[in-house]
Amino acid sequence: MKISSIALFCGSAKGTNPIYAQLARDFGHICARHQITLYYGGGSTGLMGEASKAAMKSGGTVIGVAPDFFKEGAVLADYITEMIFVKTMSERKQLLEHRADAFVALPGGYGTMDELFEIITDAQLGMHDKPVALFNPNGFYDMLIDQLQRFCDEGFLRLFHHELLTTATTLEDLFAGLDSYRNSNDHSWLNKIRY
């Protein structure tokens, strides 16, 4: 499928390894070069700031979605194409889900996991069939990937739901995976009582 917009989930911190900031910048540059609108949380710090600044520097379109209460601090980007304000974090995630063609999680913490798991759960429930990708540079998400496999092995996650999430260790493979993504969901699963 042709991806024209991506919602990015990533840290508001840069992390201790400088490779993550560089990869966030590379991600932003690639989005701009391919005319992919970058949606994200609207922050100016951490990996969010690195990706959004790089996309803007390369002539891209960057749209931030932030809750009103962030207006009180100095964390919001004042250099992006557009900032959309919503009332709650839940509304932010709903708007990103509605607007973006695909979703990518770079390294991050609680917020990144919250966004990733909500969007993949909505895919599981058949609320969307858009690509969801986990970018795993430097083995950052290896233990999470192992845990997801254990969910499957222990009978808490169906195989076709496990396959909803695509993973990649390079940006080249990440974007290739988004382009070739095929939704694996069996939409009749909710009507089934037994596995």
| Residues 102, 13 contacting (CB under 8 angstroms) | no
pTM of the model: 0.94
Residue 71: other Cβ atoms inside 10 A = 11
How far is residue 141's CA from residue 134's CA, in Å, rounded to a whole number? 8
At residue 187, the pLDDT reads 77
Mean pLDDT of successive 10-residue stretches along the chain, which has 195 residues: 92 96 98 98 96 98 93 83 95 96 98 97 93 97 97 93 95 95 82 54
**Strands in 16-159 per DSSP E:** 37-40, 62-67, 82-86, 102-105, 132-135
pLDDT score at 7: 98
DSSP annotation of 193 reads S
State which amino acid sits at residue 156: F
Q: Return the pLDDT at 25.
A: 98
Dig out the tokens for 143 from the structure. Answer: 């233990």
Question: DSSP of 117-146, one letter per residue?
Answer: HHHHHHHHTTS----EEEE-GGGTTHHHHH
What is the reported pLDDT for 69? Answer: 86
Given CATH 3.30.540.10, say whether it is the number of domain 5-180.
Answer: no
Rounded to 10 degrees, the C-alpha dihedral 188/189/190/193 comes to 120
> Looking at this protein, which amino acid is placed at residue 149?
Q
Q: In whole angstroms, what separates CA 82 from the centre of its chain? A: 19
Map out the domains of the chain as residue ranges: 5-180
Q: What is the pLDDT of residue 194?
A: 47
The whole-number pLDDT of residue 113 equals 97
